[in-house]
Amino acid sequence: MRSLREYWHRLRRPDRLTYRGLTVPIDRDFVPKAVVKQLLRDDYETPEIDAALALVRPDDRVLEIGSGLGVVSGLVARRLSSGRVLTFDANPHLQPRLAALHRLNAISNVETRHGILMRAPSAPTVTFHLNRHFPEGSVAGGAGTVEAIEVPVHDWDGVRADFAPNVLICDIEGAEADLLVGAELGGIRALVIELHPEVVPAPRLAALETFLGKAGFTPRPDLAAGTVVAWERAAS
Protein backbone atom coordinates (compact mmCIF):
# COMPACT_ATOMS: atom_id res chain seq x y z
CA MET A 1 0.00 0.00 0.00
CA ARG A 2 1.42 3.38 -1.00
CA SER A 3 1.74 6.11 1.62
CA LEU A 4 0.18 9.55 1.21
CA ARG A 5 3.70 10.94 0.75
CA GLU A 6 4.29 8.61 -2.20
CA TYR A 7 0.96 9.60 -3.78
CA TRP A 8 1.81 13.29 -3.38
CA HIS A 9 5.22 12.77 -4.96
CA ARG A 10 3.66 11.09 -7.98
CA LEU A 11 1.18 13.94 -8.38
CA ARG A 12 3.80 16.70 -8.43
CA ARG A 13 3.38 16.71 -12.21
CA PRO A 14 -0.43 16.68 -12.42
CA ASP A 15 -0.36 16.41 -16.23
CA ARG A 16 1.40 13.02 -16.23
CA LEU A 17 2.04 9.91 -14.17
CA THR A 18 4.64 7.17 -14.35
CA TYR A 19 3.20 3.68 -14.58
CA ARG A 20 5.47 0.63 -14.84
CA GLY A 21 8.17 2.92 -16.21
CA LEU A 22 5.82 4.40 -18.83
CA THR A 23 5.04 8.12 -18.76
CA VAL A 24 1.27 8.49 -19.10
CA PRO A 25 -0.14 11.93 -19.99
CA ILE A 26 -3.16 12.77 -17.84
CA ASP A 27 -5.85 15.23 -18.84
CA ARG A 28 -7.89 15.56 -15.64
CA ASP A 29 -10.90 16.82 -17.61
CA PHE A 30 -10.93 13.62 -19.67
CA VAL A 31 -9.44 10.79 -17.61
CA PRO A 32 -11.87 9.64 -14.89
CA LYS A 33 -10.74 9.83 -11.27
CA ALA A 34 -11.17 6.07 -11.00
CA VAL A 35 -8.57 5.54 -13.73
CA VAL A 36 -6.16 8.01 -12.10
CA LYS A 37 -6.51 6.12 -8.81
CA GLN A 38 -5.80 2.82 -10.55
CA LEU A 39 -2.63 4.27 -12.07
CA LEU A 40 -1.55 5.60 -8.68
CA ARG A 41 -2.21 2.22 -7.05
CA ASP A 42 -0.27 0.40 -9.79
CA ASP A 43 -3.28 -1.73 -10.72
CA TYR A 44 -4.47 -0.22 -13.99
CA GLU A 45 -5.29 -3.00 -16.53
CA THR A 46 -2.99 -5.28 -14.53
CA PRO A 47 -4.38 -8.69 -15.64
CA GLU A 48 -4.42 -7.64 -19.30
CA ILE A 49 -0.87 -6.26 -19.15
CA ASP A 50 0.55 -9.25 -17.28
CA ALA A 51 -1.02 -11.74 -19.69
CA ALA A 52 0.10 -9.83 -22.76
CA LEU A 53 3.68 -9.44 -21.54
CA ALA A 54 3.83 -13.15 -20.69
CA LEU A 55 2.74 -14.15 -24.20
CA VAL A 56 4.37 -11.62 -26.50
CA ARG A 57 7.67 -12.34 -28.23
CA PRO A 58 10.19 -9.75 -29.49
CA ASP A 59 9.24 -10.14 -33.17
CA ASP A 60 5.46 -10.38 -32.75
CA ARG A 61 2.92 -8.34 -34.66
CA VAL A 62 0.31 -7.39 -32.10
CA LEU A 63 -3.20 -6.28 -33.01
CA GLU A 64 -4.95 -4.45 -30.18
CA ILE A 65 -8.66 -3.66 -30.38
CA GLY A 66 -9.55 -1.03 -27.80
CA SER A 67 -6.56 1.28 -27.32
CA GLY A 68 -7.76 3.06 -24.21
CA LEU A 69 -5.04 5.38 -22.88
CA GLY A 70 -2.39 3.41 -24.76
CA VAL A 71 -0.82 1.94 -21.64
CA VAL A 72 -1.22 -1.72 -22.63
CA SER A 73 0.07 -1.24 -26.18
CA GLY A 74 2.84 1.07 -24.94
CA LEU A 75 4.18 -1.52 -22.50
CA VAL A 76 3.85 -4.28 -25.10
CA ALA A 77 5.69 -2.13 -27.67
CA ARG A 78 8.60 -1.75 -25.26
CA ARG A 79 8.88 -5.53 -25.06
CA LEU A 80 9.22 -5.80 -28.86
CA SER A 81 12.45 -5.45 -30.80
CA SER A 82 11.56 -6.06 -34.44
CA GLY A 83 7.82 -6.45 -33.80
CA ARG A 84 5.04 -3.89 -34.18
CA VAL A 85 1.66 -2.99 -32.70
CA LEU A 86 -1.46 -1.88 -34.57
CA THR A 87 -4.15 -0.52 -32.26
CA PHE A 88 -7.74 0.56 -32.94
CA ASP A 89 -10.15 2.64 -30.89
CA ALA A 90 -13.54 4.08 -31.74
CA ASN A 91 -13.18 7.17 -29.54
CA PRO A 92 -11.59 9.96 -31.64
CA HIS A 93 -10.66 11.93 -28.51
CA LEU A 94 -8.11 9.25 -27.64
CA GLN A 95 -6.01 9.74 -30.78
CA PRO A 96 -4.10 12.89 -29.66
CA ARG A 97 -3.60 11.38 -26.22
CA LEU A 98 -2.12 8.22 -27.74
CA ALA A 99 0.20 10.37 -29.85
CA ALA A 100 1.29 12.24 -26.72
CA LEU A 101 2.06 9.00 -24.86
CA HIS A 102 4.15 7.74 -27.77
CA ARG A 103 6.01 11.04 -28.01
CA LEU A 104 6.76 11.19 -24.27
CA ASN A 105 8.09 7.62 -24.30
CA ALA A 106 9.88 7.68 -27.68
CA ILE A 107 7.67 4.82 -28.93
CA SER A 108 7.82 4.45 -32.70
CA ASN A 109 6.59 0.89 -33.30
CA VAL A 110 2.88 1.49 -32.62
CA GLU A 111 0.39 2.55 -35.29
CA THR A 112 -2.94 3.94 -34.10
CA ARG A 113 -6.16 3.95 -36.10
CA HIS A 114 -9.55 5.44 -35.35
CA GLY A 115 -12.50 3.15 -35.94
CA ILE A 116 -14.20 -0.15 -35.23
CA LEU A 117 -13.29 -3.59 -36.56
CA MET A 118 -16.15 -5.70 -37.92
CA ARG A 119 -16.50 -8.83 -40.00
CA ALA A 120 -18.05 -8.23 -43.41
CA PRO A 121 -19.25 -4.70 -42.59
CA SER A 122 -22.35 -3.56 -44.45
CA ALA A 123 -21.67 0.18 -44.18
CA PRO A 124 -18.57 2.43 -44.05
CA THR A 125 -19.51 3.86 -40.65
CA VAL A 126 -21.35 2.81 -37.51
CA THR A 127 -22.92 4.77 -34.67
CA PHE A 128 -20.75 4.81 -31.54
CA HIS A 129 -21.89 6.15 -28.17
CA LEU A 130 -19.29 8.21 -26.31
CA ASN A 131 -19.56 7.79 -22.55
CA ARG A 132 -18.71 10.29 -19.82
CA HIS A 133 -16.43 7.52 -18.51
CA PHE A 134 -14.49 7.02 -21.73
CA PRO A 135 -13.61 3.31 -21.24
CA GLU A 136 -17.35 2.50 -21.33
CA GLY A 137 -18.06 3.93 -24.77
CA SER A 138 -19.74 1.36 -27.02
CA VAL A 139 -21.89 0.67 -30.06
CA ALA A 140 -24.74 -0.35 -27.76
CA GLY A 141 -24.83 2.84 -25.70
CA GLY A 142 -26.48 2.94 -22.30
CA ALA A 143 -26.13 4.84 -19.04
CA GLY A 144 -23.54 7.58 -19.18
CA THR A 145 -23.79 8.20 -22.93
CA VAL A 146 -22.99 11.84 -23.73
CA GLU A 147 -22.94 11.80 -27.54
CA ALA A 148 -23.58 9.50 -30.48
CA ILE A 149 -21.12 9.84 -33.37
CA GLU A 150 -20.39 8.06 -36.63
CA VAL A 151 -17.04 6.27 -36.73
CA PRO A 152 -15.30 4.47 -39.61
CA VAL A 153 -15.60 0.70 -39.90
CA HIS A 154 -12.55 -1.42 -40.76
CA ASP A 155 -12.96 -4.91 -42.18
CA TRP A 156 -11.52 -7.64 -39.96
CA ASP A 157 -10.36 -9.80 -42.86
CA GLY A 158 -8.69 -6.89 -44.61
CA VAL A 159 -6.82 -5.77 -41.50
CA ARG A 160 -5.75 -9.32 -40.69
CA ALA A 161 -4.50 -9.88 -44.24
CA ASP A 162 -2.62 -6.58 -44.42
CA PHE A 163 -1.07 -6.52 -40.94
CA ALA A 164 -0.71 -10.30 -40.38
CA PRO A 165 -0.99 -10.24 -36.57
CA ASN A 166 0.07 -13.21 -34.49
CA VAL A 167 -1.10 -11.82 -31.14
CA LEU A 168 -4.52 -10.29 -30.46
CA ILE A 169 -5.43 -8.12 -27.47
CA CYS A 170 -9.13 -7.34 -27.27
CA ASP A 171 -11.05 -5.08 -24.88
CA ILE A 172 -14.13 -3.74 -26.66
CA GLU A 173 -16.82 -3.41 -24.00
CA GLY A 174 -18.99 -6.38 -24.81
CA ALA A 175 -18.48 -6.72 -28.57
CA GLU A 176 -15.81 -9.42 -28.25
CA ALA A 177 -18.09 -12.36 -29.01
CA ASP A 178 -19.77 -10.66 -31.97
CA LEU A 179 -16.37 -9.95 -33.55
CA LEU A 180 -14.53 -13.17 -32.81
CA VAL A 181 -17.09 -16.00 -33.03
CA GLY A 182 -16.75 -17.17 -36.61
CA ALA A 183 -13.77 -14.91 -37.39
CA GLU A 184 -10.82 -16.15 -39.42
CA LEU A 185 -7.97 -16.42 -36.91
CA GLY A 186 -5.30 -17.89 -39.15
CA GLY A 187 -1.81 -16.85 -38.15
CA ILE A 188 -2.80 -15.78 -34.63
CA ARG A 189 -0.86 -17.61 -31.94
CA ALA A 190 -2.16 -16.00 -28.75
CA LEU A 191 -5.13 -13.98 -27.54
CA VAL A 192 -5.76 -11.84 -24.49
CA ILE A 193 -9.44 -10.94 -24.14
CA GLU A 194 -11.26 -8.93 -21.51
CA LEU A 195 -14.74 -10.41 -21.26
CA HIS A 196 -17.78 -8.37 -20.26
CA PRO A 197 -20.25 -10.78 -18.64
CA GLU A 198 -22.31 -7.87 -17.36
CA VAL A 199 -23.44 -7.09 -20.92
CA VAL A 200 -22.75 -10.28 -22.90
CA PRO A 201 -25.15 -13.18 -22.23
CA ALA A 202 -23.55 -16.31 -20.79
CA PRO A 203 -24.49 -18.47 -23.82
CA ARG A 204 -22.70 -16.02 -26.08
CA LEU A 205 -19.54 -16.14 -23.97
CA ALA A 206 -19.79 -19.94 -23.97
CA ALA A 207 -20.02 -19.84 -27.77
CA LEU A 208 -16.81 -17.81 -27.86
CA GLU A 209 -15.04 -20.34 -25.66
CA THR A 210 -16.26 -23.22 -27.82
CA PHE A 211 -15.23 -21.47 -31.02
CA LEU A 212 -11.71 -20.74 -29.77
CA GLY A 213 -11.29 -24.34 -28.65
CA LYS A 214 -12.35 -25.64 -32.06
CA ALA A 215 -9.94 -23.17 -33.68
CA GLY A 216 -7.06 -24.87 -31.87
CA PHE A 217 -6.57 -22.50 -28.94
CA THR A 218 -5.96 -23.75 -25.41
CA PRO A 219 -6.86 -21.59 -22.40
CA ARG A 220 -4.05 -20.33 -20.18
CA PRO A 221 -5.64 -20.30 -16.70
CA ASP A 222 -2.31 -19.24 -15.21
CA LEU A 223 -2.66 -15.93 -17.08
CA ALA A 224 -6.37 -15.41 -16.39
CA ALA A 225 -7.58 -13.02 -13.69
CA GLY A 226 -10.97 -11.46 -13.11
CA THR A 227 -12.65 -11.02 -16.49
CA VAL A 228 -9.40 -11.27 -18.46
CA VAL A 229 -8.70 -14.58 -20.21
CA ALA A 230 -5.77 -15.76 -22.29
CA TRP A 231 -5.60 -18.40 -25.01
CA GLU A 232 -2.64 -19.84 -26.88
CA ARG A 233 -2.38 -22.03 -29.94
CA ALA A 234 0.28 -24.74 -30.04
CA ALA A 235 2.89 -24.41 -32.77
CA SER A 236 2.09 -26.58 -35.77
pLDDT of 4 reads 46
Q: Residue 111: beta bridge partners?
A: 86
In 138-201, which ranges are continuous DSSP H helix? 156-163, 176-180
| Residue type at position 165 | P
Over residues 56-65, the mean pLDDT reads 98
Q: Does the pLDDT at position 137 exceed 80?
A: yes
Over residues 161-174, the mean pLDDT reads 95
Report the alpha-carbon angle 110-116-117, nearest 5: 85
Contacts of 64 (CB under 8 A, 6+ apart): 72, 73, 76, 85, 86, 87, 88, 168, 169, 170
pTM for the whole structure? 0.92
pLDDT of 133 reads 87
pLDDT tens-digit map of 1-46: 555 455 545 555 568 999 999 999 998 888 988 999 999 999 999 9
pLDDT of 29 reads 84
**Structural domains in the chain plus CATH codes:** 44-233 (3.40.50.150)
CA distance 16 to 236: 44
Q: Does the pLDDT at position 236 exceed 70?
A: no
